[in-house]
Amino acid sequence: MKKKTVLTALLALSLSAQSYSQTATLHTMSDKTASAHPLIPGYHPDPSVCRVGNEYYIVNSSFQYFPGVPIFKSNDMVHWEQIGNVLDRNSQLPLKGASSWLGIYAPTIRYNDGTFYMITTNVGNGGNFMVTATSPEGPWSEPMWLQQQGIDPSLYFEDGKCYMVSNPDNTITLCEIDPTTGKQLTESRGIWQGTGGRYPEGPHIYKKGQYYYLLISEGGTEIAHRLTMARSRNIYGPYESCPHNPIFTHCCLSAQDSQVQGTGHGDLVEDANGQWWMTFLAFRLYNGTYHHLGRETFLVPVEWDADGWPVVNHGKPLQPVNKDTDFASLPQAAIANTAAKGFKAMGHEWLYIQNPDSSKYERRGSTLRLHGSKSSLTENDRPTFVGRRQQHADMTVTVSLDATLLKPGDEAGLTAYQIHDGHSEVLVGRADDGKLYATVRYRMKNLEKTEERLWLDSAKQLLVLRATPDNYEFLCGKDEKSLKSLGTIAPQLMSTEVVGGFTGVILGIYATGNGSADFKSFDYQH
Ligand code: 6LW
């Protein structure tokens, strides 16, 4: 990037941050076709957005991870900060047996008359429910379990009524509910089945002018993902399909060479100046047709044509990032790195697999002592594990481990974890004769490979993962200078296309067995 343009852009960013000059920032973005830079990088799928005055909130799905449903706040739609996780108590988030295919699916966030609502599906542990809060930072209420099933529930409020919409039997279905109890008040009625694409889902209803607009996704969340729309003067229909459906997709000729694919699952918001925007998910391909960072959150401007139909991103696909000129290509969501110097204060980015057994996690000053679980990562029964998202294809994570308390047969390490049967790790283990070794192990479905052991003369080791778009290199050593490469794997083998799941890579520390492992720091650099 040229120095002068960086400075100009940074100045513009800092000015907009200082003065909350929403108009300048947003209009700079909407004047040009938005860039292919994710608004919130790393696994942040199924975004839903709402505005309250000059504040904007985004929530994402979270699947098997605890706490669930990360919530972000922005005052200008450019700078986003995670302010918490909506579901942060076991009573709100039972995750027994959840994998990267199960747990919390697409959430919707809405605000009405002083109350925030988050409605979602816990697949495998109870189905549809909603929680409420007066402050988006929480606390959020206990779940109100809902009668109407189908995934991707959403809410629409009008004239004291609360409507719920979801997709049972591949039909977008509407009913009225009591927003204070969740009790269903009217029968469920099918209102639209989309344009014929598979998996009609992700419905949201908006009112603009005389019309109720119904935005949905079709095609499945993979490469054929698309957004379609219909409208009606009556909320129950009949709905007329937009003549230029799909209103947004990258499964088309003009976007076939884009790195960004799978665009879908959107939600609309009108900003304080009357400009409309759409958040949606998409993934960035690396090395062919693979993505390992998960489905990420993007943002594009929306205009309305003379016939009252939306035109998304000026009718164009996302453009490749032009770093020299594109304002919106600068980093937008701040990247948390709260354990870089120790685990004293762990921020909102930290995640456990399923409901953590709190007796396994012991904070001792700035050290995090992990007590080994019987369950391995692959066995997936509340393993002792805590991690955060990989948000950049190029990055390095360095973990400081003291393995003194491992017992024979135990291990502790640093893993790049996509799903219970798709992860790779650099680990320290204690052999039956009491000696410590380091190695790297790769797990891809039913294939497992372990590198040769490196015998260690010290229990204190740095474990490092150096990632590039096409390589994961795992290293171990007493200090930075003595790091040895113990193994490499293409991250494509940890991708959604190869090992599956609805998430993206999480970088985690873990311990299995009967002993313990002391982790001193976890530093994420990109
Ligand atoms: C989500 C559905 C989808 O509930 O995938 O991409 C499902 N969209 O709408 C899981 O994220």
User: Which of 201, 228, 263 to mutate for ligand 1's pocket (most ligand atoms within 8 Å of CB)?
Assistant: 201
Tell me the three-class secondary structure of 9-48, residue by residue: HHHHHHHHHHHCCHHHHHHHHHHCCCECCCCECCCCCCCE
238 & 360 share domain: no
Ligand 1 pocket test, candidate residues 43, 44, 46, most atoms within 8 A of CB: 46
Q: Are residues 508 and 462 in the same domain?
A: yes
In a domain, 224, yes or no: yes
Give residue for tokens 């004769």.
Answer: 433
Ligand 1 centre and the CA of 479: distance in Å?
A: 43
Using the mean position of ligand 1's atoms as its centre, give its distance from the Cα of residue 198 in Å: 12
Atom of ligand 1 nearest to the CA of 151: 4
The residues lining ligand 1, judged by C-beta closer than 6 Å to any ligand atom, are 45-46, 61, 105-106, 151-152, 201-202, 217, 221, 264-265, 281, 502
Please indicate, yes or no, whether residues 399 and 261 belong to a single structural domain of this protein: no
* 394 and 269 in a common domain: no
477 and 394 part of one domain: yes
**300 and 252 within one domain:** yes
Q: Quick count: other Cβ atoms within 10 Å of Cβ 177? A: 23
The residue among 287, 315, 343 that closes a domain is: 315
In a domain, 7, yes or no: no
Distance 472 CA to ligand 1 centre (A): 28
Alpha-carbon distance of 90 to 382, in angstroms, equals: 13
H or E segment to which residue 498 belongs: helix 496-499
Q: Determine the distance separating the centroid of ligand 1 and the alpha carbon of 402, expressed in angstroms.
A: 40
Q: Are residues 151 and 221 in the same domain?
A: yes
- Looking at 263, 292, 315, the residue that finishes a domain is 315
**Residue nearest atom 1 in ligand 1 by C-alpha distance:** 106
Expressed as residue numbers, the domain containing 134 is 17-315
List the catalytic residues. Answer: 46, 201
pLDDT for the residue 2: 36
**Residue nearest atom 8 of ligand 1, based on CA coordinates:** 221
* Distance separating alpha carbons of residues 56 and 131, to the nearest angstrom: 19
Q: Is the pTM of this model over 0.85?
A: yes
User: Which of 508, 179, 160 is CA-nearest to residue 346?
Assistant: 508
Which of 152, 226, 228, 503 has most ligand 1 atoms within 8 Å of its beta carbon, as the pocket-test mutant? 152
Residue nearest to atom 3 of ligand 1 (CA): 221
The answer to whether residue 9 is domain-embedded is: no
Domain total of the chain: 2
Whose C-alpha lies nearest to ligand 1, atom 6?
Answer: 221
**Domain end residue (candidates: 315, 340, 369):** 315
Residue 402 covered by a domain: yes
User: Domain with 207 in it: what CATH number?
Assistant: 2.115.10.20
Residue 331, in any domain of the structure: no
Check: CB of residue 523 under 8 Å from CB of residue 340: yes
Backbone angles phi, psi at 166, to 5 degrees: -155, -170
Exposed, middle or buried, 2 (CB in 10 Å: 0-12/13-18/19+)?
A: exposed
| Residues 413 and 509 placed together within one structural domain of the fold | yes
Pairing of strands 484-489, 471-477: antiparallel
Residue entry with tokens 């790091």: 483
Task: Indicate which CATH number applies to the domain containing 390.
Answer: 2.60.120.200
Is-contact 479 370, C-beta < 8 A? no
pLDDT per residue, tens digit, the chain (526 aa), is 333 333 333 333 333 333 333 434 444 444 444 446 788 999 999 999 999 999 999 999 999 999 999 999 999 888 889 999 999 999 999 999 999 999 999 999 999 999 999 999 999 999 999 999 999 999 999 999 999 999 999 999 999 999 999 999 999 999 999 999 999 999 999 999 999 999 999 999 999 999 999 999 999 999 999 999 999 999 999 999 999 999 999 999 999 988 999 999 999 999 999 999 999 999 999 999 999 999 999 999 999 999 999 999 999 998 765 544 444 444 456 689 999 999 999 999 999 999 999 999 999 999 999 999 999 999 999 999 999 999 999 999 999 999 999 999 999 999 999 999 999 999 999 999 999 999 999 999 999 999 999 999 999 999 999 999 999 999 999 999 999 999 999 999 999 999 999 999 999 999 999 999 999 999 999 8
Domain annotation covers residue 342:
no
Torsion of CA 347, 350, 355, 360, to 10 degrees: -90
Q: Where are the alpha helices (DSSP H) in 323-403?
A: none
State the distance from the centre of ligand 1 to the C-alpha of 202, rounded, in angstroms: 7
Q: Which residues contact 8 (CB under 8 A, 6 or more apart)?
A: none
> Distance, CA 228 to ligand 1 centroid (Å)?
15
Query: Is the same domain home to 98 and 157?
Result: yes
Specify if 388 maps to a domain.
yes
Residue nearest to atom 5 of ligand 1 (CA): 221
What does each C-alpha distance from 353 to 62, 91, 209, 509 come to in angstroms?
Answer: 11, 16, 45, 11
Domain shared by 285 and 374, yes or no: no
